[in-house]
């Protein structure tokens, strides 16, 4: 995992709300498996430039070769909904890197332990 990671903006309530949502359902079944792998690699390789965790949404900024794209993840019922500014119209899921990053934020900056 990367040492510094993306810039993070969050509140404790927002992180806990997302951890609760992600732990209460089988959200991965709504996401293409290849997109999950891509999302994991973005987080692990350090290509995410910012992570803004709000109670109602998460905004992830991804920058490669000076091209910046972003995705907005919102929760609808029992599943994530993702909008992206990706120019190729391929819906790339950042959901797994969000859950990893939210857990990382919680452990490192808020709780100091696993949620």
Q: The whole model's pTM is what?
A: 0.74
How much is the pLDDT for 89?
Answer: 47
User: Could you report the per-residue pLDDT of 3-20, keeping only the tens digit for each?
Assistant: 567 788 888 899 888 888
Q: What is the mean pLDDT of the chain?
A: 75
7-12: long-range contacts, CB 8 A cutoff, minimum separation 24: 7/49, 7/50, 7/51, 8/50, 8/51, 8/52, 8/53, 8/101, 8/105, 8/109, 9/50, 9/51, 9/52, 9/53, 10/51, 10/52, 10/53, 10/54, 10/102, 10/105, 11/53, 11/54, 11/55, 12/110
């Amino acid at each position: 995992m990367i040492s510094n990671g993306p810039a993070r903006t969050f509140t404790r309530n927002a992180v806990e709300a997302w951890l609760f949502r992600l732990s209460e359902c089988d959200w991965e079944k709504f996401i293409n498996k290849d997109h999950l792998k891509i999302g994991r690699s973005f987080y692990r390789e350090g290509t995410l430039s910012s992570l803004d965790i709000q109670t109602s949404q998460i905004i992830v900024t991804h920058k490669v070769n000076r091209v910046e794209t972003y995705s907005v993840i919102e929760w609808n019922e029992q599943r994530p909904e993702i909008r992206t500014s990706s120019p190729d119209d391929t819906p790339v899921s950042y959901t797994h890197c969000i859950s990893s990053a939210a857990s990382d934020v919680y452990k490192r900056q808020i709780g100091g332990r696993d949620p």
